[in-house]
A and B are shown apart, each in its own frame.
Chain A
Amino acid sequence: MTFLPSSLRRPSALPGFGLALGFTLAALGVIVLVPLAALVLRAASIGPADFLAIARDPRTLAALRLSFGAALIAALINTVFGLLVAWVLVRYRFPGRRFIDAAVDLPFALPTAVAGISMAAIYAPNGPIGSIAQNFGLKIAYTPLGIVLALVFIGLPFVVRTVQPVLEEVESDIEEASALLGASRLRTVFQVVLPHVYPALLTGFALAFARGVGEYGSVIFIAGNIPLVSEIAPLLIVIKLEEFDYGGATVIATLMLAISFAMLFLINAIQGWSRTEYGNV
């Protein structure tokens, strides 16, 4: 109860604030904050010249470019198809709809390593889809294209589950009004309904993107992991650690974290903005 001075806390009749907050802060500190501080301290102890030398290494730059590039493309694909899936699930009634609705969360529940080996088997040159693609001269597994596919799998539910509840709350009045005023259906959808969904869509995009940047398990099996070509940043961290190059691993991790936190900040800014613009999203 004496954890915070009363000026920092609104008085309450409920007990246990100090105990709950103390326990939460202790767990948060030991599990999350102290280990992260170890990373930051390590990065700070490297020195700007060495830090830049590792950061500017072609292999580091190629890995970061691939992780962020593949995550960006996958998130864009998920933005389009995630919106379509959410639209179909919310607006239409068809057999199997509830089953599909439940299945969208599969990437949340399926371990990434399982998804990884399974997608590698499908898209490998001797796999069911990989062999068809091979006939058209297209190689999917062991190329950046395979990485994008794995990240599409991982990111899909983020977009669908962010957009779906917002789409459910769009009132039909505005569509009727738009139609009565003579707008075509296409125009009503794109200029009246979807603008309500854009903030949520942007949030879903950012979440899928952030997740894709850091993804490891589902990617490494399908990527082929060729340095400078299909080697993602998290894998380069693992390789540096296996070589006992803690400094190299720390620099790459710090760069990734800096960009991830910028993303988190952006997500919060978007949510704050969309709340003032469209009410609770």
Chain B
Amino acid sequence: MAMSDRFLPLAHAPERATSETAFTKVVLIGIAVLFLVAILFLPLVTVFVEALRKGWGTLFENFGDPDTLSAIRLTLLVAAIAVPFNAVVGLAASWCIAKFEFKGRNLLLTLIDLPFSISPVISGLVYVLLFGAQGWLGPWLSAHDIQIIFAVPGIVLATVLVTFPFVARELIPLMQSQGTSEEEAALMLGASGWHTFFKVTLPNVKWALLYGVLLCNARAMGEFGAVSVVSGHIRGLTNTMPLHIEILYNEYNFVGAFAVASLLTGLALITLLAKTLLEWRFAGELAAKAHRH
């Protein structure tokens, strides 16, 4: 580029110097697109190609498999508990962190983010050390006939831990930027605290809340490492969809594994679509982009 530039007339200099030549642009776009095709699109397409290797009929047969159905039910159940719980925690956390100033606020923020920097496997391990047969509370739990590890409660706990920061992360920066004046006005006019929260605060953050819930749900339904450690992999009982994929794959039932994978991929695509629509439509009402993740 530098070589050919020398021969251009001087009058063009400022223009070309604040932008790349058309050739450079095409090359850079080409490299970026090739990279994304190889890294992102190829795995995406492969899921559907492999799932349909034996045709649509086999695909739907795989969906109807009793173990697959029970894995789908468990995944939905776990998400139905973990996501609302983390949404409520996210709202409570963002209310106190964004609307009040107190000592230790940054520490609290760091602690809420903590699960992002922990390996999913460790997120499962900590519950095994706490509730497992050889864990701190293991003897007491077995004496009272309560099972948490290798059962649904452990799967729910591990999923809640892994997805803990998702909703709070979206709400806190937005609520901080919105300040407290609208709430103060509502209170001054005689509204109760809860009334103010539901009629003023919640409508102001509803799209960011939905955005956080979408990401939280995608991770909750797709979580593998943490759930794998606490589940015990009991077919039909403690297998979530991602764990069921692993079992089918290890049994060399590749078409079956990719059939379940195609369902989760469909969920991922819907999540991406909804998320993108929210970003286009309500960019101003979502948290600043720079603070995502």
Contact = CB atoms under 8 A, between A and B. Distances in A.
A9 B100 contact: yes
Interface residues of A, number: 108
A113 B126 contact: no
Interface string B77-103: 000000001001100110110011111
Contacts of B5: 184-185
A272 to B, nearest CB: 11
B31 A84 contact: yes
A76 B257 CA distance: 32
A156 B35 CA distance: 11
Interface stretch (B55-63, B202-210, B222-230): B222-230
A213 B74 CA distance: 29
A85 interface: yes
Contacts of B269: 109
Nearest to A115: B43
A145 to B, nearest CB: 14
A53 interface: no
A216 B226 CA distance: 9
Nearest to B261: A114
Contacts, number: 319
A141 to B, nearest CB: 13
Given A16-B95, A117-B257, A35 B126 contact: yes
A32 B36 contact: no
A20 B93 contact: yes
A185 B126 CA distance: 53
Nearest to A12: B100
Nearest to B184: A13
A24 B89 contact: yes
Interface of A: 4, 8-10, 12-17, 19-21, 23-25, 27-28, 31-36, 38-39, 41-42, 81, 84-85, 87-89, 92, 94, 96, 100, 102-115, 117-119, 121-122, 128-129, 149, 152-153, 156-158, 161, 164-166, 172, 175-176, 178-180, 183-186, 188, 207, 210, 213-217, 221, 233-235, 237-238, 241, 244, 246, 249-250, 253, 256-257, 260-261, 263-264, 268, 280-281
Given A109-B271, A113-B224, 8 more contacts: A12-B100, A17-B100, A105-B272, A109-B268, A111-B261, A117-B258, A118-B50, A121-B254
Chain A to chain B: the 8 pairs with minimum beta-carbon distance, closest first:
A111-B222, A214-B119, A179-B17, A217-B224, A216-B225, A35-B126, A15-B193, A234-B121
